[in-house]
Structure 1
Amino acid sequence: MVAVLRRLSVRIDTNSPPLTAPGVISWFGRLIDVTPEQSNLGMREGMELWGTGQGFAPLDIAGVESWLFDAPRGEHLLIAERKISFDVQNTPSREGRNLVIWTLNDIAAFIGHAVIDGRLQILEEETESAEENEPELFSGPGPFTLKPSNDFSILEEKGLDVSLAKPVLIPAKLHKVTGILKGPGEDEISRWVLNIGGLHILQEFELLDRSPMLNHVNLEIDTNPDFSELLSERRSHSDGMGDLLRWWTFDSETATVETYEVLVPAHSGMDATGAEWILDGVSNKLHMNY
């Protein structure tokens, strides 16, 4: 739901979540930079955003009362993605807490009106926009040859001589992975991952205009890559008592993966003992006895 709202131009701050007991209702974030149009729909600056998640069990009054006991003072918007077993007019209340509940119909109306009057972009439009930009990098038939960094420092550290090696190309796969990091809050990320002799995150890369005529050397390509461990990360998080490092885990179930066939420039050689090595010129990963 957070990803959907963000694609509908709703800005959500996921820092410093309030302390509440675990239950059906979970914290999504805090609304910021609320537009006049969003304000007309009931959103307020600084409003705490909560959700029930999808499920067969309906949201009942007892569940709301239990959650409301821990909820901090202020404005709260609860998005019910499941059925509600009570009339929202009879929603429990607590002093200092203003609670607004959006039912499935309210959510549908919010998205529907946004699409109809053109104030907000829907997911498909944003996806199409991204796809329109992508061909500027990957246009025409592949495979596409990545530009090497020409960083041979790891060879010097290992006592290997690049001048005695031969340049080669390694067939590989390049994945654009988009999905949700889950920690104290949720955050959508997008990363480029090179799949060749392991999985490697590329912070940046370029393509060569022309691929050199070189022999191909094959390294293992993961046919069913799992990005959860690679893309999980530790981030600084403020809990009101100082900044702490917290784990944010990549949710593989939310992953969207675009894959491109690429060629990776490399150097292949042999050490003093006769063991073969190959240096991936893009991730600068040295593979011994490949």
Structure 2
Amino acid sequence: MKRNFVFVMISTIGLALSSCATKNATVADPNAPAYELLDLPKVSIKDFKKNSAGAYVIFDGSSLNGWRGYNKSHVPSKWSIDNGTLKFSKSPAGIQNAEGGDIIFAHDFKNFELEFEWRISQAGNSGVFFLAKEVKGQPIYISSPEYQLLDNVSHPDAKQGVDGNRKSASLYDMIPAKPQNSFPAGEWNRAKIVVNKGKVTHYQNDEKVVEYEFWTPEWTQLLQSSKFSKEKWPLAFELLNSVGGKTKSGVIGFQDHGDDIWLKNVTVKVL
């Protein structure tokens, strides 16, 4: 019989990151796949300023304080500040063998409103993750739902999936964003994700486009009908079915999908 366990990794991280206590990972199903959670240091959200709406500003256009790579102690070199934006560059100028990877804000959020603006390169693909855990040797999306960021016109993913459920603002591969109101590649879009006691709402350009609820039979069925089903990807099914783990919380992250993307005005209001 396999049991899940926690691997505790203690490291010193710049950007004023503070260490957090070890957490035990347990899974109700004794036959579930084994995995390791990395308990990397986190920041205190109280160290960040609030805007006039009472939301914490986690990216202000001038500092990467609080950010690091997923499962890493530093910011990968393909991520940088570019004219006040947080940018992922496919081929950053002047950097040989640049390091990629997803980027996270190193704080566990539970109930919150995440807002940001984004624009993507032509035929670009990216995404935003939330309630994610840092799982050793696994991608961030193994434990996190994904709000899709996409050029719906030129990227082939827009025509894949079911009923447009891989288009911009969709719950990736599960629920299509309707109405589909994204702006073209190169133009700024506004995104908002609300997570409150398991109920999740996606907004795109100020319109509600997706709703769902974690930890319900309907959520399990959504997973089972997707690429994250128990048969196709047992570990992803296990982690996503209990998204957020025992604490029902996790980190927020942005995806390196290999395409240029710009983000700005990233705020989180704690509910």
TM-score (norm 2): 0.24
Q: With a CA cutoff of 8 Å and minimum separation of 6, indicate the structure with the bigger relative contact order.
A: 2
Higher helix share: 1
